[in-house]
Structure 1
Amino acid sequence: MARTKVDRPISALPGAIGTCALLCAAAPLALPPGSVPITLQSLIVVLAGALAGGAGVAGVIAWLALAALGLPVLAGVKGGIGAMSGFSAGFLIALPLACRLAMRWAPGWRWRPTLLLMLAGHGLLLALGGAVIAMRGGDLAALAVLLPGAGVKSIVAMAVLLVVGRRFKTAA
């Protein structure tokens, strides 16, 4: 069964540039509870996938490339391969995947499927992030501090998407 193309509220170039810029701007806004900081970046990523589609994924990948080049765009205003290879590596790997997963959203969706999709995106981030933490001998209990934030960010993303989806659907 072929999927139909979904029109996105944000077009390609602004979507990619905006996603990358927002991820860069969020770098200093991290709360360091332990080995993995709490950031707004997962919220930006799921919204970028839903609102900008593939352009959002491109923006996430561009942001990761800037980080790999050493620009201080990661949480805690860090950059470089060393900063990317710590306990946060699994989360960084999962970000474009969560963005891609969020692309399943379409304007007009009701709140339940929208919330479930946003929770799935954050769950993917926590699963891959936790896998890397476990492989490196870290404490998986540290993920517990991230769970409430993932839930709140999923609810915020759902609310934003419901408002944008209604406005986009009536404008189209």
Structure 2
Amino acid sequence: MKRPISALPGAIGTCAALCASAPLALPLGAVPITLQSLIVVLAGALAGGAGVAGVIAWLGLAALGLPVLAGMKGGIGAMSGFSAGFLIALPLASRLAMRWQPGWHWRPTLLLMLAGHGLLLVLGGAVIGLRGGDLAALAVLLPGALVKSLVAMLLLWLVGRRFAKPA
């Protein structure tokens, strides 16, 4: 299926959007609340594999030490803390979002976006739990995941109306 955003602009745009969102983080616990999960699911849905490639490129820049992670952090040390599970899950959530198709109704779109954010919370929570962190702290992230899923659903619904094949 042809995606609304083509390959090269999709990969570069995803990586750039993730980098630009680095300073926009609310440090409300062990893991900050960011817009990066919203960008990741939208990238997978709109740009397909190119969006996933952009997420992986962004993680590569972070591994090289560039300050592109939440709170303008970078490097392997910043990637191996409580956020490690979330970082591992980001390309997976983007890949999951690739299932979206223009023309989908809002319900399956919302369910897919919730599934992507749920995947992030499950893998992120698993690493937090393995490192002895407080899993109850994940409750702070739930409202944000819901709001970001709703925003993604609305944006995809609007884009999907434009790109859906006529019946």
Taking structure 2 as the reference length, the TM-score comes to 0.98
Aligned with residue 39 of structure 1, among 34, 37, 41: 34
- Over the matched positions of the two proteins, sequence identity in percent amounts to 86
Aligned to 1:69: 64
Aligned to 1:3: none
Aligned to 1:106: 101
2: distance between equivalents of 1:142 and 1:87? Answer: 11
The total of aligned residue pairs comes to 166
Q: Which amino acid aligns with 2:134?
A: D
Aligned to 1:127: 122
Q: Which amino acid aligns with 1:15?
A: G
Deviation string 1:46-83 (CA, Å, 9 cap, x unpaired) is 00000000000000000000000000000000000000
Structure 2 stretches of 5 or more lacking a match? none
Aligned-residue RMSD, C-alpha:
0.9
Aligned to 1:116: 111
Aligned to 1:23: 18
Query: How far apart are residue 169 of structure 1 and its match?
Result: 2.1
2: distance between equivalents of 1:170 and 1:141? Answer: 44
2: distance between equivalents of 1:170 and 1:95? Answer: 29
2: distance between equivalents of 1:77 and 1:69? Answer: 13
Aligned with residue 141 of structure 1, among 131, 136, 145: 136
Aligned to 2:154: 159
Q: Does 1:87 align with 2:76?
A: no
- Following TM superposition, the consecutive aligned residue runs of length 4 or more in structure 1 with deviations greater than 3 angstroms are none
Q: Which amino acid aligns with 2:16?
A: A
Query: How far apart are residue 30 of structure 1 and its match?
Result: 0.2
